[in-house]
Amino acid sequence: MARHSDIPRVDFRPPEGYALDIEVFPANDWLNRVPEDHFRYPSRLDFHQLILVTQGQFGHTVDFQLQSMPTGSLLTMRPGQVQCFEANPPWDGWVVIFRPESVQSPVEVGSLLLGLSIDDLPVQLVLEKASFEPVRQAMAQMHQDAKLTGPMPLVGALERAQLQALLMRLQIASEQLQAQSAIDSSLAKHFRKFRHATEQRFHEWHQISAYTQALGISEKTLSRATQEATGLSAKAYLSKRIALEAKRMLAYTRWPIAQVADKLGFDEASNFIKFFRREAGLAPSEFKKQHRGA
């Protein structure tokens, strides 16, 4: 695998003449419209991406985890995640890509949170038959409606409304499949804020106290919220996030270990090496060597 000074980023670049910030297209169109070498190397998304498998099986590696997607399954990817395409037998489906600003922020109505943070969707979601067909139809309809010849602001508003409805439908399907008691709404809110703060600050704030001060809650409350949402303590969740970014940098860039340590906010490379060995079970140099020829 070719190695780069940084992980190649994939921007939202629809075909020439396409003016909307949401695009829905058949998987075959996706595979045919980009150069073959686009699929040979890892890349980092700058947009959201949904892949619905309607026929066959699709394999895709997301942040070092191979996702085997049978017919009826949905893959959800977010900006910042690193993807690697696998050699796949023939498959078919739908691809939805959209800018982060295309999704409306959730709105609180009483004790309910209406709308969706797309981060609440799992990376892989296997849909039941009752959910699969409406989702497939929604994507097909969005694909057709994007071709409407009406005023572009109106067509764009229609696509965004349909995207919001699609994401809410997926959220309902996800919660039905989880079949678990709902997390306390206040704890869920605390965790969402912590997750957002972690994405913004993990390379600077390595202590949970920094997050609790910023969020105005106690460490006990934050740990309870994180445990309810992920099964991990707040500290373990933060460490896992830092370790993931370290793996991305070690596997997909030419940066030396000292530079990776610096970019992740470690004062000394030796501290980073100890941290990484504890989280990953091997030294950064060993991890880097394993992925050099991957």
pLDDT in tens, 111-165: 445 555 677 788 899 998 889 999 999 999 999 999 998 899 999 999 999 999 9
Spatial separation of the C-alpha atoms in residues 95 and 75, rounded to whole Å:
10
For residue 148, the model assigns a pLDDT of 92
Of 240, 213, 245, which is closest to residue 226 (Cα–Cα)? 240
Domain 9-178 adopts which CATH fold? Jelly Rolls (2.60.120)
Three-state SS for 243?
helix
For residue 185, the model assigns a pLDDT of 67
Could you tell me if 18 and 265 are in contact, meaning their C-beta atoms sit under 8 angstroms apart? no
Domain ranges of the chain: 9-178, 185-292
For residue 111, the model assigns a pLDDT of 45
Which of these ranges, 87-96, 154-163, 252-261, 272-281, has the smallest mean pLDDT?
87-96
State which CATH number among 3.20.20.70, 3.40.50.1980, 1.10.10.60, 2.160.10.10 fits the domain covering 185-292: 1.10.10.60
| Torsion sign across C-alpha atoms 119, 122, 125, 127 | negative
Model's pTM, two decimal places? 0.78
Mean pLDDT of 17-31: 88
pLDDT in tens, 200-251: 999 999 999 999 999 999 999 999 999 988 889 999 999 999 999 999 999 8
